[in-house]
Amino acid sequence: MYDIKLWRHVFKLDPAKSISDEDLMKVCESGTDAIIIGGTDNVTEDNVLNLMSRIRRYPLPCALEISNKESVVPGFDFYFVPSVLNSADVKYHNGILHDALNEYGYMMNFDEIFLEGYVVMNEDSKVAKLTNANTDLNITDLESYALMVDKLYKLPIFYLEYSGKYGNPEEVKAIKHNLEHAQLIYGGGISDLNTAREMSEHADTIVVGNLIYENLKQALQTTKVKQ
Ligand SMILES: CC(C)=CCC/C(C)=C/CC/C(C)=C/CC/C(C)=C/CC/C(C)=C/CC/C(C)=C/CC/C(C)=C/COP(=O)(O)OP(=O)(O)O
Ligand SMILES: O=P(O)(O)OC[C@@H](O)CO
Ligand SMILES: [Mg+2]
């Protein structure tokens, strides 16, 4: 599954959180399509490297969703770079990215880097606070972001981020309707197979994060969306 377009289900592991070898084995052998390593805070070179090397024992794709320049390490199959479109701070659109290109642009392998058009919707999430995101968006606003990502910026990925909260499936449906090329990734508050199925109806890919740490059994059930 080294074609990200084919991913239906992904587990997102937070390098700042601990997970036992036994639980990690269950996650990696669950039948999920890929693992994304990502988090908002306390993401360091050390904890990213450590988690990546433990996941590398298993034959599944592993992507790093970059949260800061300092924790980018070689060895991933893919690098996902979030550009938070509804952030009030240009730093989180392209500012950090521009700095990184100044420093390392000459040595980047652009075939493995995917820019994510990110829209953050849970006002209480760490990522919304960090990026000062305007989460007061209605369906028309979201449809417009979808057009922006797909028709104008022509980004490969639209990520609807509800981190920590379950979103509105009608929003996912409306966004999907406006995407012709971009892959629609939904993440946030998936708590069982039912919610996973509901979001999978319209999202191309669903991401399960916190549930891994809160209720691993339920998290593993969500991979059944692939059946
Ligand atoms: C060495 C090598 C091979 C290099 C490859 C080249 C490469 C890819 C270089 C990278 C270029 C680079 C450094 C670009 C910078 C991009 C960047 C840092 C952009 C800003 C990213 C950004 C907006 C971060 C904010 C946080 C964010 C969007 C996080 C996403 C994940 C997320 C929301 C997780 C959920 O949060 P969590 O921590 O789990 O929250 P809870 O604890 O509440 O659950
Ligand atoms: O942790 P949860 O709420 O499952 O969200 C998943 C992911 O979208 C976070 O970046
Ligand atoms: Mg989390």
The pLDDT tens digits for 37-69 are 999 999 999 999 999 999 999 999 999 999 999
Closest protein CA for atom 5 of ligand 2: 188
Q: Identify the band that residue 14 occupies on the pLDDT scale cut at 50, 70 and 90.
A: very high
Please write the tens of the pLDDT for every residue from 67-120. 999 999 999 999 999 999 999 999 999 999 999 999 999 999 999 999 999 999
pTM of the model: 0.97
Number of domains in the chain: 1
Arithmetic mean of pLDDT, 213-220: 98
Arithmetic mean of pLDDT, 170-187: 98
Q: What is the CATH number of the domain that holds 200?
A: 3.20.20.390
- The pLDDT > 90 percentage for the chain reads 99
113 CA from centroid of ligand 2 (Å)? 21
57 DSSP 8-state letter = T
Domain span at residue 212?
4-226
What is the amino acid identity at position 191? Answer: S
With a 6 Å cutoff on the Cβ, whether 161 touches ligand 2 is yes
Closest protein CA for atom 37 of ligand 1: 39
With a 6 Å cutoff on the Cβ, whether 101 touches ligand 1 is no
Arithmetic mean of pLDDT, 204-219: 98
Q: Identify the band that residue 2 occupies on the pLDDT scale cut at 50, 70 and 90.
A: confident
Arithmetic mean of pLDDT, 201-214: 98
| 39 CA: nearest ligand 2 atom | 10
> Quick one: pLDDT at residue 70?
94
The per-residue pLDDT of the chain, averaged, comes to 97
Task: Report the distance separating Cα 46 and Cα 138, nearest Å.
Answer: 39
